[in-house]
Structure 1
Amino acid sequence: MSVAEPRRIVLFRHAKADWPQVPDHERPLAERGRKDAAVAGRKLADTGIPFDLALCSTATRTRETWKLAVQELPHRPKTVYEERLYEASPGELIALLNETPDDSQNVLLVGHNPGVEGLADILSGQSEGDTKERMSRHGFPAAAFAVVSFTASWKSLEPGVGTLLDYWAPTE
C-alpha cells in the first residue's frame, strides 16, 4: 500500500456513561448511552469506511460503546484495547497513533474527552464543507465521532496534516 493513498482516522467518543459509586475507569454506560452507541455504530457503517484496526480505551464505558457499535459494522476490525487511551491528551494520542503499522489504512479510536475532541481539532488543518463549523457548534458530546483523512505514514501524523471529512453527533 502506498502512503499516497489517504488514510482515515475516526475519533469516536464513548457514549453517555452512568455515575454509580465506582472508580471513574469502571463507569458503565447509561441506558441512553447504550442506545446512542448502537446508533453511532450504524452511522459509522454508513460512512463506508472499511476499518482495519480499532484502538479502544480499557475503560468500561469505552469497551461497552465499542461492543455495541461494532455489531452494526459490516465487518469486525482487529481490536486492540489500549490502557494509554484512558485520559490521554491529544499529544499522547498522536504518539500512540504514530505507532500504528503502515499496513493499517483506516483506524477507529474509541476514547475520551477532552483528548478525542482536541485531537480532531488539532489534526484538522482543513475541512470539507461545514464539518468544522458543525463540530465547533455541537462540541463533541458522548457518542460523537469525527473522520479525519491524511496522506502520509502513521509516523508522520502531526497537528494540521489532516482534513476533517465528516462529523456526527447524536444531537445533530
Structure 2
Amino acid sequence: MTLETIQSAWWELGVLAFPDQDLSPEQQAAFSAQFGALDVYPFMTPVQSHPNVIPIIKEPDAKLNFGGGWHTDTSYLEKPPKATVLYAVETPPEGGDTLFADARAAFDALRIAEMVLTPRGLIWGLKQVGMQRTNRYGKTWTPINLLANIATQHLGLKWDPCHSIAKNTPPLFANHPGLF
C-alpha cells in the first residue's frame, strides 16, 4: 500500500484502522511524519525514546480517563495538526472505545445562516459562544467566564463580555493547513 493510497483513503473516509501492528514509538512517529510535521504535545510527558509520542494510559482502577470526554485534539492551537495517529498497545476486553465524528459531514449539514442553540452552548455567527466544559474537579467553566476570570482577577482589567464576544471568541470552523 502506497502513501498516496493511504492519504486518499484517509481523506475519503476520515478514519483509518490498521489492525495487528507492532510498532515502536520511533516507527509510529516515522509513519506519522509521512503525513506532515509532528507536534510536541505541551501538556503530557512523552515516552523517553521519542518527543512526539505520548502514552495515554488508563489503569483499571483509575477513575479519570485522560481525553475521555468529547473533544478535538489540540483545537486550542491556531493551526492544529491535520491528524492524530493513535496506536493501541493494550486494550480492555470491553469498553475502552474511541469514537470518531465526521466534522465535514456535520459542517455540510449545518445551516450556516441560522443561530443554533445546542445543549452545550450557542453557535452564533460562526463563533463558538458558551461552550461548556467540566473539569476533573466538577467545576464547570466556559471560555467566556474563564476569560472574564483571568481579565478581572489576574490582570486587573474591566471585562465587558458582550463587547468581547465578537472580537475574542475563536472561530467555530477552522481550516486545517494543507487540507483546504
Q: Structure 1 length normalisation: TM-score?
A: 0.28
Q: Which has the higher strand share?
A: 1
- Indicate the structure (1 or 2) with the bigger Cα radius of gyration: 2
Structure with the bigger RCO (C-alpha within 8 Å, sep 6+) is 1
Q: Structure 2 length normalisation: TM-score?
A: 0.27
Q: Which has the higher helix share?
A: 1
